[in-house]
Structure 1
Amino acid sequence: MEVAINKDHVILTLDTTGSSLFKRGYRVEKGTAPLKENLAAALILLTNWHKDMPFWDPFCGSGTLPIEAALIGRNLAPGFNRDFAFEQFGFMDSQIIENERDRADDLADYDTPLEIHASDIDGSMIEIAKTNAREVGLTQDIQFKQVAIADFKTDLTGGVMVANPPYGERMSEQEQVHQLYRQMGKAFAPLTDWSKYIITSDLDFENTTVKKLLRNVNYIMEL
């Protein structure tokens, strides 16, 4: 119960949700500054990726982007794996809630093979991502691999790449970030039939080597 008072007006509101709606309920562990789940899903939808296309996140961190891609590919409702505050209300019929979950489950596509890949240079983050995928029951749909971007390669064609590389806010970090961009450019250049979406806060991104080397790229500016 929340109370808001403005002069002689009082508003009582009942929290029916609990934790914020962007939380899907699968993030058991997380890394540094992870993307919110709803933002990750929105970015994937912007790419026009379809479940019959390969999907790759080469900086997967705690796995938010590939997990959201798998949820979209499986047509699983965003809140399917989480609890809501209203479920604890005494006047709520638990059978109604179960029926709605069953309806959502009936709409899911568990049969279409998915080609979703997630890689990261940090092996500990790969393990965290696997834990989160296991929590939502999607470990069989995502192929995780520890690999540095400089060593990245794939024979898959016609896919969608969504990358959220580390970006430095301090001057001392910017050269490291640009070096990473150069490695990305070399790794991604052979993927001429892939669509590539890069999330960055670097206002100089247009002038960096990676932009010059990439083809079919749409970059997303995160300010």
Structure 2
Amino acid sequence: METFEFLAPCHFGLEAVLKREIQDLGYDVSLVEDGRVTFIGDMDALCRANIFLRTAERVMLQVGRFKAETFDELFEGIKAIPWERYIPVDGKFWVTKATSVKSKLFSPSDIQSIVKKAMVERLKTKYNVAWFSEDGASYPIRITFLKDEAVVGLDTSGVSLHKRGYRRLTSKAPITETLASALIMLTPWKGDRILVDPFCGCGTFPIEAAMMAAHIAPGMNREFVAEDWKNLIPRKLWYNAVEEANDLIQDDIETDIQGYDIDPDMVKAARENAREAGVDHLIHFQARPVAELRHPKKYGFVITNPPYGERLEEKEALPALYREIGEAYNRLDDWSMYLITGYEDAERYLGRKAAKNRKIYNGMLKTYFYQFPGPKPPRRPRQDV
């Protein structure tokens, strides 16, 4: 079967997590760059990547990569791409996003305009038509410039992959589903271990953890723009990928995943979101402040996204709040804690230095993932058969 190069963007600092995910799906990674991973696969890979990848923001079919320092070079580079191979005569095509970093061409609107003109020029010649109705399937294009190199991709996902479809209700500053998944994957947590999020908000950490524990693919209950690309992808490939995802689900397992929040309305929203995700039976949500965080068992995990005070009046409350977090963690016997925050003085008020501190960009916001790993539980004795 014919193979293609696919681009999967992700949060800056989490490329290694996405690379591992892609390799676990069985595909070869050809390039890892800041904020994106390129891999090789057939059209089956396109469907499976959209449905199974937890940490990618979207999946793009790479159609061109070339250097362009002038608009003439951009025009010729785009025109040289065999667009007729991807877009049918009635296809709707437009540049949905253009970004530029450290490049001579930096105006997104001008880049978008030139790309569209060059595409029209090429397709007019190939299809021998003067104009396009564009009333068929959608083929959105994304182009990124970095140091004058243009990377052109067809967006196969449409709506960003962090929108799993379950989160109808959100908190004031929710963590995205893709980022939550990636952070959980950076910890040694597995589905048979205890996990508590004392600042669960709309429930993203507990829900993503429960979906992992039950092997529920993140994209199996949503739609993708490439489902309509019947000229490129046989419908059967999408059915096969969803069938594979259904076969893997194990939602009759036992878990100890808990989410607390001081706001009862947020707890109610989290329960509703968990129900939409099909994992409400795997999570215990409760209205409870972090000061009341307790658990009788050892070797659990706290994975959380506490407030970090974007407004001045909130900032004043942070020292006391982070002291409470530190005191609550001290009461937990042999637990691990993993905490993402933009609060620079977190370690000071938690009362301990993190074993690791990973810088992660949450959008344009610089945050830190503080890691306090606890001891590993003793190995269970082997059962003689």
TM-score range normalised by the length of the shorter chain: 0.7 to 0.9
SS at match of 2:268: helix
Q: Who is 1:108 aligned against?
A: 249
Please report the RMSD computed on the Cα atoms of aligned residues, expressed in angstroms.
2.5
Contact 1:198 1:218 in 2 (8 A): no
CA deviations 1:149-204 (Å, max 9, x no partner) are 11222213211111211111344432301111111122221113110012111212
Q: Who is 1:54 aligned against?
A: 194
1:203-218 → structure 2 map (5 Å cutoff): 203-208=344-349, 210-212=350-352
Distance 2:195 2:116 in 1: 55
Q: Given the alignment, which residue of 110, 114, 118 partners 1:6?
A: 114
Distance 1:94 1:126 in 2: 39
Contact 2:202 2:273 in 1 (8 A): yes
Q: Given the alignment, which residue of 56, 61, 75 partners 2:215?
A: 75
Unaligned 5+ residue runs, structure 2? 1-92, 96-111, 121-137, 141-155, 360-366, 369-385
SS at match of 2:314: helix
CA deviations 1:115-151 (Å, max 9, x no partner) are 1111100000001111111111111011111101112
Query: Does 2:281 match 1:140?
Result: yes
CA deviations 1:99-118 (Å, max 9, x no partner) are 32111111222243111111
Contact 2:323 2:351 in 1 (8 A): no
Q: Who is 1:184 aligned against?
A: 325
Query: CA 1:98 to 1:206, structure 2 compared with 1: closer, same or farther past 3 Å?
Result: same
Counterpart amino acid of residue 282 in structure 2: D
**How far 1:84 sits from its partner (Å)?**
1.4
Q: TM-score, normalised by structure 2?
A: 0.53
Distance 1:7 1:88 in 2: 23
Query: Does 2:258 match 1:117?
Result: yes
Distance 2:323 2:358 in 1: 18
Q: Given the alignment, which residue of 320, 341, 353 partners 1:200?
A: 341
Contact 2:94 2:116 in 1 (8 A): no
**Superposition misfits of 4+ residues, deviation over 6 angstroms:** none
Distance 2:221 2:117 in 1: 38
Larger Rg computed on CA atoms:
2
**How far 1:9 sits from its partner (Å)?**
5.8
Unaligned 5+ residue runs, structure 1? none
Percent pairwise identity: 38
Q: Given the alignment, which residue of 12, 15, 21 partners 2:161?
A: 21
Distance 1:45 1:206 in 2: 22
Q: Who is 2:302 aligned against?
A: 161
Counterpart amino acid of residue 188 in structure 1: Y
CA deviations 1:36-85 (Å, max 9, x no partner) are 11000000001110111001101000011111101111122121121112
Distance 1:8 1:161 in 2: 49
Distance 2:268 2:204 in 1: 13
SS at match of 2:173: coil
SS at match of 2:190: coil
Distance 2:269 2:347 in 1: 33
